[in-house]
Chains A and B, each alone.
Chain A
């Protein structure tokens, strides 16, 4: 029996040496190990072997089968590898540096900055509100303590509409509505488009974006305002900044301040952005005027608050190196397409 097996083994080895195709190898496997294969036939003869030898012959047969199966399997693996290698070698060489043709979209730079700033505020517990663009004279002026005959109410400064309303001149126009909507403690920001009836040039726009915020609670102080502004601006500029207050004047705050930030682009050493002054005037702010609180139904004896405004256009220009504000409303795709989505 061992001889018969060896015969088959030698036959297989000899056959395999001439085989180069996977199909031929498969055919050989069937010829030897298939249902009526040569080796299978030997197993069928086992039933004629005397009982006392059956165990031994069976062992020989099994060992032989394993050996022959391994020999064929090795060849099969070898051929499979060669086939893969062949497929790899004959593959089309793809130049992945070719363009994809997919269009990259872009957000308006203002949207990107606005979102970034909004996220700083929401992380500090502020609600983000939407304001109107058309406001009543009351909301835009009276509610925020702008006197009846203040120059800001003039036709030459404000876009008056023929229904008696105005295109809102500042985001403060939303203050009354928002202070009425919530009860203290209040933390809210309201970004929005504002309008001034003025001639447009590289640094003046009649349509621009502001972001205004209010905080109202018991005993909000100037010290709180400084703390808050410093933290907020540090987050926006992604570095610890220094701020300072200077006197300002706005009808809706008392006291009013201009807030300067130590130039984050040169760390106050002096650069074109800060006009070598080391400080950038960034953010008008102040303690909410008691009359403004009263107009919103908040008792200024019980509560105080601060309000601040950030020029989104200015922030956008600062962070994008744009030097002509008109670009922002221009629809100039050569420029706008350069921005991404973050």
Chain B
């Protein structure tokens, strides 16, 4: 929102305060200032001048050769293209040596004729919206008067961030901003000059009916006999400076009031609109608005209708074209109303029409303001046009009044919340400056919130803490530490392990972490033939491009692998993220924290598969301290039907890993092998913990023995290992697999494992008898597990 500092100064004397200080303090106390622009300094040597003569340019069909009196004594010749030039017209004239914004005025020849200056258009000067010709000044303007003396073109324009005013309906007009400046700098706020509405009490009432609870208040008054067509140069200037366009007297005045008080207003042609009925439409309505656009108003919107129930305006948003004021309008029905903010917002969003009025109504305007605004408008109208006649009494339907908030608190509460000791008097002073009524008794405060702050912003004592300290100055609050008891801090295991895993994967295994989106990528998955059935969907997929939430993490990583496949021979990526594959009995999403790894490389599939195993073992053994097992088959459809496995711990399946299914792998990249893993972090943490038992070392000589055990070819090493692990003896026993044979002729298709066993006695040196006894017992035990000793 654009604020003119000159306009503000009409309501509060800010003399002696630099602009920098004004904006800085406002920014720290009230709302964010986006920009400060100084206007007017680029308008130089521009004066009121009168056109003395007009002749057609001999060589041009649209140029005129004029002489003007600019008050310098001798008439000045100038060539002008404006169609509205005529003898006797007073306008703004930029002399040679002058400046109109970026344009320096120099003597020039225009199609062969000397031109010494420029007659200025209102748009060129930035003071009017009109682009069709030169400014037409009232005949009372004194020739030779500098534009700076004629109009306050020197101004400072402050742009306030609209978002930071969301909660301050009172700040959507200059008067409210002026009130804020007055409070910040402790200067008095001047009262608003208004017309006395009680003078019309005896005139007939307007026919106003309100049939919806979403119209809080509807005030109106009728006037006629308006002789002036246009607003004053000052009003036009302010409208244009603040980003609006001047149109005609009544439109300009209603807009001016909106910028001044934040109260949107509307003027109807009273000859056509004889009365007002505010309704909520039951059926969709079509209405052509002032911009000649037809909008469909959905049911349950607030619509302003005339006494014949014909719609004439979309309440709080836009007036209709049919009954708007025109050149011939002589009597007006002036509307000043207040509507429910949410109702206006909904309608505005549904139609897709956001206007200066709707933006203000959305903020919950103060209904008390409708009356002030009408009184102010009449005052300004009468100042401009003395012939105006009021033809109705002030007619007011006031159906919803906000409650008056009275907040009881004390100086101690305010002080403790701020962390600064303030007296009740200090607090009362600040609040009074902001328009609050405060009763002080001792430490106690009874604060009445003014209506313009009470629609949603201020209602509890914590709100007063904000009011007091933003005015006191947050930068004046001394920072101070708090005292809290010394207590040990809990660590949340699911959170801690996440970082530990990430750190190990990156630092120990050389993997790269990625972050992705939580959507499933339906098209990508489909193209790879990955089955993809989201359990939850987005209601609006227009901005994410995807409609479901992922049920598994790995496809997203495959997508990343796909996107990077031509840039890297080796891709080793991982992510810890959530999946959403289940709803509980209350229909709430059960989200799961998963680790997914995708390895893609020209390396052998076996190497990749084992790298995954190495990683999982590191996580399980070193980071979590649980046993894991890879013997069970995986159920994953994206993994290789044979070379994949479930990762289990005890009875718990915590994940799956394996070579990627060849159909999928080949679709991504034929030059690479792929392996993938997906692990449930919470399940991993719930796996039974194994605490490593520390065994004392022995000083006696160890003995190392090799055994070859033969079994059917599908016998997994894990079977042998389990048999060894379960073997009990009196020695310390270590084992490792030395070799695996499958192709020797004597094996006849079976498999042979060469196991090296080291036994260490605890309390004596081993004799050959001891060793023979051990071997026999060991072989017997292993043979019971389905193996035979290779001969």
Residues in B503-559 with C-beta less than 8 Å from chain A: 503, 505-518, 536-540, 543-544, 549, 557, 559
* Contact partner, B499, options A111, A161, A163, Cβ 8 Å: A111
Q: A128–B492 contact, CB under 8 A?
A: yes
Which residue of A is nearest B32, CB measured?
A: A246
Name A residues whose Cβ lies closer than 8 Å to a Cβ of B.
102-108, 110-111, 115, 122, 125-130, 132-134, 136, 149, 151, 154-156, 159-165, 167, 185, 187, 193, 195, 197-200, 206-207, 215, 217, 219-224, 226-228, 230, 244-249, 254-258, 287, 289-290, 304, 328-329, 331-334, 336-337, 341
User: Which residues of the other chain, A, contact B492 by a CB distance below 8 angstroms?
Assistant: 127-130
Name B residues whose Cβ lies closer than 8 Å to a Cβ of A.
27-32, 164, 166-167, 342, 345, 349, 416-420, 460, 462-463, 465-466, 469-470, 474-475, 477-482, 484-485, 487, 489-492, 494-495, 499, 502-503, 505-518, 536-540, 543-544, 549, 557, 559-560, 563-564, 567-568, 570-573, 578, 580, 583, 587-589, 591, 593
Q: How far is the CA of A199 from the CA of B542 in the complex (A)?
A: 9
Q: How far is the CA of A163 from the CA of B582 in the complex (A)?
A: 11
**Listed A/B pairs (18) with beta-carbon separation below 8 Å:** A111-B513, A122-B489, A133-B518, A159-B544, A160-B539, A206-B544, A220-B482, A222-B469, A224-B481, A227-B479, A228-B482, A245-B28, A247-B164, A287-B417, A289-B462, A331-B573, A336-B513, A337-B512
A108-B513, A130-B495 known; A103-B570 Cβ under 8 A: yes
Q: A165–B418 contact, CB under 8 A?
A: no
A161-B549, A206-B543, A287-B417 known; A125-B480 Cβ under 8 A: no
Q: A155–B539 contact, CB under 8 A?
A: yes
A155-B540, A223-B419 known; A217-B484 Cβ under 8 A: yes
User: Which residues of the other chain, A, contact B474 by a CB distance below 8 angstroms?
Assistant: 222, 226, 244-246, 257
Q: A151–B27 contact, CB under 8 A?
A: no
Known: A331-B559, A336-B514. 9 other contacts (CB 8 A): A105-B509, A125-B484, A154-B349, A164-B587, A193-B578, A244-B474, A304-B416, A331-B564, A336-B512
Q: How far is the CA of A125 from the CA of B508 in the complex (A)?
A: 30
Give min CB distance, B390 to chain A, whole Å.
Answer: 39
Q: How far is the CA of A257 from the CA of B465 in the complex (A)?
A: 12
User: Which residues of the other chain, A, contact B559 by a CB distance below 8 angstroms?
Assistant: 331
Q: How far is the CA of A249 from the CA of B457 in the complex (A)?
A: 10
A162-B536, A247-B470 known; A334-B465 Cβ under 8 A: no
Q: A290–B460 contact, CB under 8 A?
A: yes
Give min CB distance, A303 to chain B, whole Å.
Answer: 12
Give min CB distance, A331 to chain B, whole Å.
Answer: 3
User: Which residues of the other chain, A, contact B572 by a CB distance below 8 angstroms?
Assistant: 103, 105
A219-B416, A220-B482 known; A287-B465 Cβ under 8 A: yes
Q: A105–B580 contact, CB under 8 A?
A: no
Q: How far is the CA of A207 from the CA of B495 in the complex (A)?
A: 20
Which residue of B is nearest A164, CB measured?
A: B587
Q: B516–A331 contact, CB under 8 A?
A: yes
Q: How far is the CA of A136 from the CA of B495 in the complex (A)?
A: 21
Q: A331–B514 contact, CB under 8 A?
A: yes
Give min CB distance, A26 to chain B, whole Å.
Answer: 31
Q: How far is the CA of A333 from the CA of B564 in the complex (A)?
A: 7
Which residue of B is nearest A115, CB measured?
A: B499
Which residue of B is nearest A229, CB measured?
A: B479
Q: A161–B538 contact, CB under 8 A?
A: yes
Q: How far is the CA of A198 from the CA of B544 in the complex (A)?
A: 8
Q: B589–A329 contact, CB under 8 A?
A: no
Q: How far is the CA of A222 from the CA of B487 in the complex (A)?
A: 24
Q: B544–A197 contact, CB under 8 A?
A: yes
User: Which residues of the other chain, A, contact B30 by a CB distance below 8 angstroms?
Assistant: 247
Q: How far is the CA of A102 from the CA of B570 in the complex (A)?
A: 11
Which residue of B is nearest A185, CB measured?
A: B484
Q: How far is the CA of A128 from the CA of B29 in the complex (A)?
A: 33
* Contact partner, A333, options B27, B484, B568, Cβ 8 Å: B568
Q: A200–B543 contact, CB under 8 A?
A: yes
Q: How far is the CA of A258 from the CA of B33 in the complex (A)?
A: 13
Q: B465–A255 contact, CB under 8 A?
A: yes
Q: How far is the CA of A125 from the CA of B540 in the complex (A)?
A: 41
* Contact partner, B480, options A193, A227, A337, Cβ 8 Å: A227
Give min CB distance, A318 to chain B, whole Å.
Answer: 17
Q: How far is the CA of A332 from the CA of B568 in the complex (A)?
A: 11
Give min CB distance, A121 to chain B, whole Å.
Answer: 9
Q: A165–B589 contact, CB under 8 A?
A: yes
User: Which residues of the other chain, B, contact A108 by a CB distance below 8 angstroms?
Assistant: 513-515
Q: How far is the CA of A199 from the CA of B491 in the complex (A)?
A: 37
User: Which residues of the other chain, B, contact A197 by a CB distance below 8 angstroms?
Assistant: 540, 543-544
* Contact partner, A221, options B417, B513, B539, B557, Cβ 8 Å: B417
User: Which residues of the other chain, B, contact A122 by a CB distance below 8 angstroms?
Assistant: 489
User: Which residues of the other chain, B, contact A341 by a CB distance below 8 angstroms?
Assistant: 503, 506-507
Q: How far is the CA of A149 from the CA of B490 in the complex (A)?
A: 38
* Contact partner, B543, options A199, A223, A287, A328, Cβ 8 Å: A199
Query: Which 9 pairs, one residue from A and one from B, show the smallest C-beta to C-beta distance?
Result: A223-B419, A221-B419, A255-B466, A331-B560, A103-B510, A105-B506, A227-B479, A245-B474, A226-B479
Q: B28–A159 contact, CB under 8 A?
A: no
User: Which residues of the other chain, B, contact A223 by a CB distance below 8 angstroms?
Assistant: 418-420, 477-480
User: Which residues of the other chain, B, contact A329 by a CB distance below 8 angstroms?
Assistant: 515-517
Give min CB distance, A200 to chain B, whole Å.
Answer: 7
Give min CB distance, B779 to chain A, whole Å.
Answer: 43
Give min CB distance, B240 to chain A, whole Å.
Answer: 28
Q: B417–A104 contact, CB under 8 A?
A: no
Give min CB distance, A185 to chain B, whole Å.
Answer: 5
Q: How far is the CA of A128 from the CA of B493 in the complex (A)?
A: 10
User: Which residues of the other chain, A, contact B480 by a CB distance below 8 angstroms?
Assistant: 221, 223-224, 227
Q: A128–B543 contact, CB under 8 A?
A: no
Q: B479–A167 contact, CB under 8 A?
A: no
Q: B463–A249 contact, CB under 8 A?
A: no
Give min CB distance, B242 to chain A, whole Å.
Answer: 23
Give min CB distance, B677 to chain A, whole Å.
Answer: 16
Q: How far is the CA of A20 from the CA of B477 in the complex (A)?
A: 90
User: Which residues of the other chain, B, contact A226 by a CB distance below 8 angstroms?
Assistant: 474, 477, 479
User: Which residues of the other chain, B, contact A246 by a CB distance below 8 angstroms?
Assistant: 27-28, 32, 474
User: Which residues of the other chain, A, contact B588 by a CB distance below 8 angstroms?
Assistant: 134, 136, 163, 165
User: Which residues of the other chain, B, contact A115 by a CB distance below 8 angstroms?
Assistant: 499
* Contact partner, A105, options B32, B342, B512, Cβ 8 Å: B512
Give min CB distance, B64 to chain A, whole Å.
Answer: 48
Q: How far is the CA of A304 from the CA of B413 in the complex (A)?
A: 11
Give min CB distance, A40 to chain B, whole Å.
Answer: 35
Give min CB distance, A275 to chain B, whole Å.
Answer: 11
Give min CB distance, A320 to chain B, whole Å.
Answer: 14
A224-B480, A247-B31 known; A256-B466 Cβ under 8 A: yes
Q: How far is the CA of A254 from the CA of B457 in the complex (A)?
A: 10
Give min CB distance, B463 to chain A, whole Å.
Answer: 6
Give min CB distance, A57 to chain B, whole Å.
Answer: 46
Q: B544–A163 contact, CB under 8 A?
A: no
Q: B418–A221 contact, CB under 8 A?
A: yes
Q: A105–B462 contact, CB under 8 A?
A: no
- Most A-side CB within 10 Å, residue of B29, B416, B567, B589: B589
User: Which residues of the other chain, A, contact B587 by a CB distance below 8 angstroms?
Assistant: 163-164
Give min CB distance, B217 to chain A, whole Å.
Answer: 20
Q: How far is the CA of A290 from the CA of B466 in the complex (A)?
A: 13
Q: How far is the CA of A174 from the CA of B539 in the complex (A)?
A: 22
User: Which residues of the other chain, A, contact B475 by a CB distance below 8 angstroms?
Assistant: 244-245
Q: B505–A105 contact, CB under 8 A?
A: yes
User: Which residues of the other chain, A, contact B505 by a CB distance below 8 angstroms?
Assistant: 105
Which residue of B is nearest A331, CB measured?
A: B560
A197-B543, A247-B470, A256-B466 known; A134-B591 Cβ under 8 A: yes
User: Which residues of the other chain, A, contact B512 by a CB distance below 8 angstroms?
Assistant: 105-106, 333, 336-337
Which residue of A is nearest B362, CB measured?
A: A151
Q: A224–B419 contact, CB under 8 A?
A: yes
Q: How far is the CA of A128 from the CA of B496 in the complex (A)?
A: 9
User: Which residues of the other chain, B, contact A159 by a CB distance below 8 angstroms?
Assistant: 538-540, 544
Q: B164–A248 contact, CB under 8 A?
A: yes
Q: B490–A127 contact, CB under 8 A?
A: yes
